[in-house]
A and B are shown apart, each in its own frame.
Chain A
């Protein structure tokens, strides 16, 4: 993992000290809320329904045992003993007091954690594939590039006040697990004639105007990428709609100009950069950052050990079931990537208690080369686990309600905090997700259904990614009543699509039944178990699903 140097530590330390002063002035009344709000947002502090909320950055979702333990300790000392992992691979604490936040930030800084650029109109946490550095299907590890972009974008003076927030995602795998099509910039790492470079997509986003990113460049060589990103940001900074918050994201600019014209302007900006302006990333620097992400010294796994793993599965059906669902193929023989589900049926997606965080931290150190990821599906991931340790790992997770076998299944939903916490919400998300999950609780049934992503947001801001859920659920306020709009056919991977609204909104109590009818329709129409929900839908179109959805309602 990347280690911050003294320079980083000083920057973070200075920022904490500065914020401490600002908080003191707010508490004395010297600063009014209107003056303080932009300052607190720059430090990840929101004001929600019940309390302040602190969002802590987890760059590209990577943690180690010490960092996760530190998060656990924050939740224990300053919050209510739990944290909420988000689809932007960050963590949120829901109940912090403003007076405590400077101490929390100082405590986090001691472990190299911070809340910088987790809010406000700047370049936010760079997100990536949660199996980065481990997945069998990746070209190379995208994390060094996330780190390079993080360093370039952190405290970048020119991009501290963009027209609106800016989110960058990077993937290097055939299967896109980073949802690059719905980011302001999405980067796909490629190799051409031995040169590493990036396919660049721009102008994707969700919110009230969901748009997929357009490809604006086939290939930007690695040494040019920061200069190219700088050119994109400059064009956006200059022409983004500062006059209208709802039109301020880069997606609107790319859409209004057209991808071709946008791309032309970026190229012109890139060409106009003077020699003294060019970053022209030196190879030595690229190599230096890559060295931090060298794979762990994978222990060889012998044939006997692998046989033990097989025997354990043969002997314990629950373990075998979990292995069948929550393991992902690793590029190193004898290893697997493990999804630690934060989606127990009846729980709140992405929530983990301090004890659970401590446990996972310890397990990562003991069994998994001390590497932990937060996935954009709001689960934790142990990317590198030798198969010999899987049984012991599973037993420990199982005892802590962390071994729900549901990765990418119907109960593995992305769910925003909704009206239970969020000041912007129209309707609750979490209870709806719980009611849906109850209906599909049985693992066998979920496996029969297969891969199916349900995403739920409590308002049009779309923090719960409902636009790109295979089934999307959006909470709407209808004269004081919470109702839910269902959309179908969204997806966030390499075949990204925005879902289409299926029809009139439903009452909360009707949502689980509606989902059930959609699923039943799929099961009756599919051409076999290999045809997952989204593929059946693509083949048949929405009609049969709409019919079923509104038949009994």
Chain B
């Protein structure tokens, strides 16, 4: 696995995130199990359901790579000690880059 992230407790709300295998873009699992490139659509999961959802994601090698839990609030917003990393991952580098140079 590329990402070894901090372990989260069962009762901590978490989203399932990964990289789209073809494009490498960051993706988040929606409530219905499909994937979105928009972090705003990340669904929060808890406890056993979260584990089931992660296992589901792990079974989709052709679609997503290296799924892991990302800590979120009850409403699905990025939270916890990896907030900076996950925010950058969701919204891109924090300075003007590329053609904007």
Binding site for B on A (CB under 8 A): 26-29, 31-34, 37, 47-52, 80-82, 96-99, 344, 347-348, 351, 353, 356, 401, 419-421, 423, 425, 428, 430-431, 434, 479-480, 482
Contact = CB atoms under 8 A, between A and B. Distances in A.
B19 A29 contact: no
A49 B23 contact: no
Interface string B66-101: 100000000000001111110011001111011101
Contacts of A482: 84
Interface of B: 1-3, 19, 21-26, 60-63, 65-66, 80-85, 88-89, 92-95, 97-99, 101
A146 to B, nearest CB: 30
B9 to A, nearest CB: 16
Contact of A353 (B23, B66, B94, B98): B98
Contacts of A52: 24
B57 to A, nearest CB: 12
B6 to A, nearest CB: 10
Contact of B2 (A31, A420, A423): A423
B83 A480 contact: yes
B85 A49 contact: yes
A152 B61 CA distance: 38
A421 B93 contact: yes
A348 B23 contact: no
A183 B53 CA distance: 45
A96 B83 contact: no
Given A80-B98, A347-B101, A428-B94, A49 B22 contact: no
Given A27-B62, A28-B62, A419-B84, A430 B23 contact: no
Given A47-B19, A47-B24, 7 more contacts: A28-B62, A52-B24, A351-B101, A428-B94, A430-B93, A430-B95, A431-B95
Interface of B is mostly: loop
Nearest to A35: B61
Given A97-B22, A99-B22, A420 B66 contact: no
9 contacts: A31-B61, A33-B2, A51-B23, A80-B97, A348-B97, A420-B97, A425-B85, A428-B94, A480-B82
A288 B10 CA distance: 66
B21 A27 contact: yes
Nearest to A354: B99
B81 to A, nearest CB: 3
A154 B89 CA distance: 35
A31 B84 CA distance: 32
Contact of A348 (B26, B84, B95): B95
A31 B62 CA distance: 8
A530 to B, nearest CB: 35
Contact of A27 (B19, B22, B89, B101): B22
A430 B63 CA distance: 32
B97 A82 contact: yes
A105 to B, nearest CB: 16
Contacts of B99: 80-82, 353
A538 B23 CA distance: 50
B94 A431 contact: yes
A50 B92 CA distance: 7
Contact of A47 (B63, B65, B82, B94): B65
Contact of B25 (A31, A51, A401): A51
Scoring B24, B25, B63, B101 by chain A CB atoms within 10 A of each residue's CB, the highest score goes to B24
Contact of A82 (B81, B94, B98): B98
A33 B61 contact: yes
Contacts of A434: 95
Contacts of B92: 50
B61 A29 contact: yes
Nearest to A427: B84
Contact of B93 (A31, A34, A344, A420): A420
Given A97-B23, A98-B24, A99-B22, A401 B95 contact: no
Given A353-B98, A480-B80, A480-B82, A51 B24 contact: yes
B23 A47 contact: no
A420 B99 CA distance: 16
Nearest to A347: B101
Contacts of A479: 81
A423 B85 CA distance: 9
A419 B83 CA distance: 12
Nearest to A26: B21
